[in-house]
Amino acid sequence: VTLHLVLAESALELVPQEIRNTPAVRSDSRRRGTDPSEIILDRSLHHSSMPRLSHGERRGRPDLVHEAVLSATGTPLFMNGKLKVYVHTNQNLVLQIEEKTRIPKSYNRFRGLAEQLLTERPKSGLVKVYDADITKLVKKVIGADRVVGMSTQGAPTDLGELSKELTATRRPCVLVGGFPRGHFDPAVLRMTDRLVRISPMPLEAHVVVARVVYEVEKATNRIND
């Protein structure tokens, strides 16, 4: 069984039109010699330009997406081709990472790759990019028969037990929020069969990803074989 892991509503996008002409974006663009339309929105650089964006508090965190992707792709499950990773963005684009693809460890190189992918939107290759909202991704692309959303608002759940249930299905799908604060959009919640909380504490997405993947590895008995 392959686990389909979706980083949902991720804070990964190119600098939106309405702030491309602001001082923080322009100076970043000059420094890097890159057009503002081809730069990833990054709060650590563009903070002063972001108050005018709607839902700005949930946007511009490519670092968080990078960490979560590395947490997934560094695991035996991924390296064994039993984990498929999808970054669904707040702009309803999907970056689909093929099995065994190596994602850059350096943030600068990851940012460069993300900029290239979002600008060129390749239809094939190690990371494909296409338009899909969460419903299309989960129902059509993945064809999931079991969808579990991870949320601090979910029901307290033992991850080991949940992973056994997940691995008993054909195409299990787990959704983890790829945003820094707030909760899933109602459209995402409607897609889930279950919403679960795996700790009373709010955790970083990369920690949740690492735990889910590890428990699924244990449930499929692929730890040391």
Ligand X SMILES: C[S@@+](CC[C@H](N)C(=O)[O-])C[C@H]1O[C@@H](n2cnc3c(N)ncnc32)[C@H](O)[C@@H]1O
Q: Which residues form the interface with ligand X (CB under 6 A)?
A: 150-152, 176-177, 179-183, 197-199, 201-205, 208
Rounded to a whole number of angstroms, the minimum distance from the CB of residue 61 to ligand X is 9
| Cβ-proximal residue to ligand X, closest one | 177
**92 exposed, middle or buried (CB, 10 Å; 0-12, 13-18, 19+)?**
middle
Instruction: In angstroms, give the least distance from the CB of 167 to ligand X.
Output: 19
Calculate the CA dihedral of residues 96, 100, 104, 110 and round it to 10 degrees. 0
What DSSP designation does 1 have?
Answer: -
Tell me whether residue 129 or residue 205 sits nearer to ligand X (CB atom).
205
Q: Which is nearer to ligand X, 147 or 198 (CB)?
A: 198
Least CB distance to ligand X at residue 144 (A):
16
For ligand X, the closer of residues 10 and 49 by Cβ is 10
The radius of gyration computed from the CA coordinates of the chain, to the nearest angstrom, equals 17
Nearer to ligand X by Cβ, of 26 and 194: the residue is: 194
Least Cβ distance, residue 178 to ligand X (angstroms): 7
Q: Give the residue with the Cβ less far from ligand X, 28 or 42.
A: 42
| DSSP letter for each residue of 45-67 | HHGGGGGGSTTGGG---HHHHHH
CA distance 138 to 145: 9
Q: How far is the CB of 196 from ligand X (least distance, A)?
A: 6
Pairing mode, if any, of strands 3-10 and 172-177? parallel
CA distances from 24 to 29, 33, 60 (A): 9, 14, 13
